[in-house]
């Protein structure tokens, strides 16, 4: 059985690739260019990092994982 943290790590790459592909599609088929939408990549990476930390087990005090 996989834990939540393993699941987040397993889908991180595919989600980032899907996001990049969507942004390139928006660049070609809408008035919004990649130079306007690239911050979405940072938002997705941040959300995945938060999801990974939220599902991590163990003590969270002390700043050392």
Q: Residue 49 above 80 pLDDT?
A: yes
Query: What pLDDT does residue 8 have?
Result: 82
CA distances in angstroms from 23 to 6, 8, 27, 45, 55, listed in the order given? 26, 22, 6, 14, 28
Q: Residue 60 above 60 pLDDT?
A: no
Q: Output the six-digit token pair for 16.
A: 């980032």
Query: What pLDDT does residue 6 have?
Result: 84
Mean pLDDT across 16-35: 93
Question: What average pLDDT is seen over the chain?
Answer: 85
Q: Output the six-digit token pair for 55.
A: 């599902």
Q: Output the six-digit token pair for 62.
A: 């002390």
Distance CA 54, CA 47 (A): 10
Task: For the chain, count helices (H), then strands (E).
Answer: 3, 0
Query: What pLDDT does residue 64 have?
Result: 61
């Amino acid at each position: 059985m996989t834990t939540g943290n393993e699941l987040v790590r397993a889908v991180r790459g595919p989600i980032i690739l899907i996001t990049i592909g969507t942004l390139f599609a928006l660049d070609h088929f809408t008035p919004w260019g990649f130079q306007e939408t690239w911050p979405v990549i940072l938002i997705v990476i941040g959300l995945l990092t938060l999801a990974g930390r939220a599902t991590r087990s163990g003590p969270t005090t002390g700043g050392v994982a």
